Amino acid sequence: MTPSIVPNFGSESTDRKLAIICSKGNLDMAYPGLILANAALGEGVETMLFFTFWGFDMITKSRMNDLQFSPAGNTAMHLPGHNMHIPQAMMPAPGMTAVATHMLKKQIADLDVPEVPDFLDQIVAAGGHLWACRMSADMNKLEMNDLRDDVEGIISASDFIEMTEGAQLLFI
Amino acid sequence: MPVIRIAEKPVNVNEEGFMTQYDEWNEEIAKELAAQIEIPLTEEHWKIIKFLREDFKVQGETATSRRVQTVGGVPVKEQFALFPKKPAKKMAYIAGLPKPKGCV
């Protein structure tokens, strides 16, 4: 018989930090940052998300429920379960974005992965921090009360760089 | 795969120490596993552990944190309070189940 084996869950005081910059507002590109943030938090890693440019839509109350997915310009888009492409020339057809968005949302829901606002709720519940970009807020004429209530502040790029000292960084 | 002694019983585990045989688990073993990772078990902990055991029996895989919230009814925030830092893995370990496979 082998002596006791106890999994190494790491020390309670890991100082690993992850900063994720979310710069895209398309439905498909909102998810990578959220999935990685959620995974990092589940591993005990302190995680900060910074929303900038198009990524601002993910935290803007009036837009966060309506992120869309367009197959236009995405040559890796296939019909689910097939290798077949839809010709790019057909992608700008009326209704194509709505259909593709609906299909993608269904595929994501089938995996029991939450919609973007719910996912951010879960990330905050797990201890994640949300920050908004000052320049994007100014360009879009948005203020704190236009954003999710759990956004901790609108800050400049240099503030974000300063507060994420020592963190690993992802730009999405 | 190694066999180790937990709560006076020989138990099959993988190389990390997670149990590999669903039916070898019992509550005495859970208490000892929890003690090894310094988690004192309360009623709230048992509620999650029992949900994980039941859910695994039906689904054939370990529930993720997300599922413990949506199906098991224990919010993610509470899971982090009960099983600090790495709730999904710690819950699975004490419940004698494999680590969850899902990403979310």
Q: What is the 3-state secondary structure (H, E, C) of chain B?
A: CCEEEECCEEEEECCCCCECCHHHCCHHHHHHHHHHCCCCCCHHHHHHHHHHHHHHHHHCCCCCHHHHHHCCCCCHHHHHHHCCCCHHHHHHHHCCCCCCCCCC
Position A11 scores a pLDDT of 63
Structural domain containing residue A47 = 37-55+119-164
Is there a contact between A6 and B2 if contact means CB atoms under 8 Å apart?
A: no
Q: Tell me whether residue A18 is in a domain.
A: no
For the question of residue B103 being annotated catalytic, the response is yes
Search chain A and give the residue with CA nearest B4.
A2
Q: Tell me whether residue A31 is in a domain.
A: no
**Of the candidates A6, A111, A119, which has its C-beta nearest B36's C-beta?**
A6
Among chain A, residues having any CB pair with chain B shorter than 8 Å are 1-10, 12, 14, 35, 38-39, 42-44, 111-114, 119, 122, 125-127
CA B17 to CA B96: how far, in whole Å? Answer: 10
Position A83 scores a pLDDT of 84
**Of the candidates B75, B77, B103, which has its C-beta nearest A35's C-beta?**
B103
Residues of A in contact with B18 (CB under 8 A): 7
Residue that has been written with the tokens 């992608």 in this structure: A91
Is there a contact between B104 and A112 if contact means CB atoms under 8 Å apart?
A: yes
From the list B23, B42, B101, B103, the catalytic residue is B103
Q: How high does pLDDT run on average in chain B?
A: 93
Residues of B in contact with A2 (CB under 8 A): 2-4
Number of domains in chain A: 1
Three-state SS at A4: coil
Among chain B, residues having any CB pair with chain A shorter than 8 Å are 2-6, 10, 13, 15-18, 36-37, 64-67, 69-70, 75-77, 80, 84-90, 93, 102-104
**Of the candidates A1, A9, A38, which has its C-beta nearest B90's C-beta?**
A9
Q: Tell me whether residue A29 is in a domain.
A: no
Q: Tell me whether residue A100 is in a domain.
A: no
- Predicted TM-score (pTM) of the model is 0.89
Search chain A and give the residue with CA nearest B11.
A1
CA A129 to CA A53: how far, in whole Å? Answer: 18
CA A49 to CA A130: how far, in whole Å? Answer: 5
Is there a contact between A113 and B104 if contact means CB atoms under 8 Å apart?
A: yes
Please give chain A's pLDDT, 172 residues, in tens.
Answer: 677 888 888 765 678 999 999 999 999 999 999 999 999 999 999 999 999 999 999 999 999 999 999 988 888 888 777 888 888 888 888 888 999 999 999 999 998 899 999 999 999 999 999 999 999 999 999 999 999 999 999 999 999 999 999 999 999 9
Position A1 scores a pLDDT of 66
Q: Which residues of chain B have pLDDT under 50?
A: none
**Of the candidates B5, B64, B75, which has its C-beta nearest A125's C-beta?**
B75
Residues of A in contact with B76 (CB under 8 A): 122, 125-126
Residue that has been written with the tokens 């309670």 in this structure: A12
